[in-house]
Amino acid sequence: MPRLTAIVAAAALAGCAAAAASPQSSHDSSSPDQPVTLISDSQCDCFLTNGTSPGYYSQHMFFDFRSLPQYASADAPAFVLNESQAAIAPVTSDYFADDRWNGTWQIQGWDNKNTEGHGLAGNSTVLMVNSQSNIFIQQNADRPAASQTFMSMRTKRLPGFQTTAAFQSRAADFHFLSVRILARTVGSPGAVTAMFTYREAAAGVQEADLEVLTRGPRETVQYTNQPGFGPDGRRNTDASHNTTLPDSLLWSDWAVHRLDWTSSGSLWFVNGKQTANISTQVPRDPSSLNFNSWSDGGPWSGNMSLYDEARLEIQWIDVVYNSTAAADATHAQRRSGGGGDDHVGPHGRLVRRKGHPGCKVVCSIDESPELGRTALLWNSTAARTAGADLRSSMAWLWSLMFGTVLWYCLV
């Protein structure tokens, strides 16, 4: 019987070793044999990004424009030819009147006139008017087409003014984010298409930009932590990079453009390859997220010829982010002991770092095989459940060993 006891003890130790190894292996998302588990955003405590500077974010939002034929037509909406009417034009479809869109984004209708009411702002030479009529869902006429539809943002030089497109997040309290878009720019020289974070001018210039200049080479894009020029008018090469796209891409090709705005830098990627890391003049304060397609005849955009047109076309927008409003709400909930569901739109919970008691279910948008869905990386609550099961099993094994010894002694 001592031999039996030793066997039971050895089995217990083996089981203990296997169980102890199990939680760690379940956290290793790099294992090729481990299936990916997709879960809803509401089940995630935080989202961990990949790349050269991984970060933890509290919220996720995804806007998909690839399969919206009910909002699209074969022809683009007619241009509004009057500048005053263009500024107040209605949205082009019910998609942009829906609460999900309007709860997160706001299409712009401002112009570049001086606030005094005469002349143009800055070094503009052409009146620029943003119009809701220039943002619409368009059928994808590519052959072959990777999607049914996409969202289009157009700018066109009309007699008397440049009609343009812009939208921004309603929230201006994004405090670090990772945003990815599948997009391309098409059209004539003299336009700028852009994705950028923006802080109101009263706080000083704080802006991280991706810009395509259609007057420039088709294989290069601009990355800038504004301001890109010094007081002497010279370009700040530490804060602004003119970058060649990887793999012989052109800005007219569909590509995934990504910005990771962190406390230490603005990191840019194209199709997963890092293209820039700018650590000078990193935006530090909460900001909005913006997209536009424009021209004002100034030295940056250049002058677009009459009736020429350019477009920023986007198939989807995917963002993980933190917000200061969410952080305040989370702190208040913790002080009061309350809970509550996640907010709709760009407000959510405070960022949770690894090891923070609030970040127990860690998810990823990078490891998911399905665009727009989140993959489970690890769940520390499951590890604790496994630990409870282990303790129960060990108690049973020790009882068995004790009972065996007692039986041997009695016999």
Burial degree of 229 (CB within 10 A; 0-12, 13-18, 19+): middle
When pLDDT is averaged across residues 76-98 and rounded to a whole number, the result is: 98
The domain segmentation of the chain, as residue ranges, is 1-39+378-411, 59-323
Please write the tens of the pLDDT for every residue from 151-188. 999 999 999 999 999 999 999 999 999 999 999 999 99
374: which strand partners? 39
The answer, yes or no, to whether residue 264 has pLDDT greater than 50, is: yes
Please write the tens of the pLDDT for every residue from 210-239. 999 999 999 999 999 988 777 777 778 889
- Of 341 and 62, the one with more pLDDT: 62
pTM of the entire predicted model:
0.80
Alpha helices in 28-172 (DSSP H): 83-87, 99-102
Burial degree of 242 (CB within 10 A; 0-12, 13-18, 19+): middle
pLDDT at 100: 96
pLDDT band at 17 (very low <50, low <70, confident <90, very high): very low
Beta carbons within 10 angstroms of residue 68's beta carbon: 18
When pLDDT is averaged across residues 276-291 and rounded to a whole number, the result is: 95
pLDDT band at 36 (very low <50, low <70, confident <90, very high): very high
Burial degree of 163 (CB within 10 A; 0-12, 13-18, 19+): buried
Architecture, CATH, for domain 59-323: Sandwich (2.60)
Alpha helices in 62-108 (DSSP H): 83-87, 99-102
- Of 408 and 309, the one with more pLDDT: 309
